[in-house]
Structure 1
């Protein structure tokens, strides 16, 4: 069994942002040479998420609106965590969206369903962040 590891680095210009990272993940898969196995992609920061869904702008907007209703950024004073920071909402949003995704690798390709893509979602940007890609298989 082979193992391959790669990090993707991000510094988004806004507090929140959504990036389709499927091309970078597919590149890592090609680099690995692995044809059959599993690929893990996970956010290496507690205020970001990696998940699989449709690459459709209306849906992206809906995520933003829905998450802001669940855990509004302001007023900052509504969160105890914000005594030392102002990103409690980002921690809560990440919990809802999840930390990582696992995708099957079949015949050297991501074994996706229709419309599936991999996304990085940042909830507390303007800082250096990273995503770990770990691929195991043959």
Structure 2
């Protein structure tokens, strides 16, 4: 069974930011040689989150407004 574990680190310049990691994850899946199965992406920090959604500027603005209300 093939598998791959990678730890990715991101420097977000502000208190809140959005980072599209789709191409990075796609490259890692290709590198792994895995043809089918699951791809788990997990934020390993309590103040981080992973959102899977469309990468649209309007959504970014909506998320920022929503997160500021929390």
Tell me the TM-score normalized by structure 2.
0.93
SS state of the match for residue 43, structure 1? coil
Flag as ranges the 4+ runs of structure 1 deviating above 4 A.
none
SS state of the match for residue 38, structure 2? strand
How much does 1:3 deviate?
Answer: 1.4
Match of 1:34 in 2: 34
| Rg (Cα) greater in structure | 1
Deviations 1:115-137 (A, max 9, x none): xxxxxxxxxxxxxxxxxxxxxxx
The structure whose RCO (Cα within 8 Å, separation 6+) is larger is: 1
Gap regions ≥5 residues in structure 2: none
Equivalents in 1 of 2:28, 2:44: separation in Å? 17
Equivalents in 2 of 1:18, 1:54: separation in Å? 12
Match of 2:24 in 1: 24
Equivalents in 2 of 1:62, 1:50: separation in Å? 16
How much does 1:2 deviate?
Answer: 1.6
RMSD: 0.8
Residue correspondences, number: 70
Match of 1:4 in 2: 4
Query: In the alignment, does 2:55 pair up with 1:52?
Result: no
How much does 1:67 deviate?
Answer: 1.5
How much does 1:51 deviate?
Answer: 2.1
How much does 1:17 deviate?
Answer: 0.5
Gap regions ≥5 residues in structure 1: 72-138
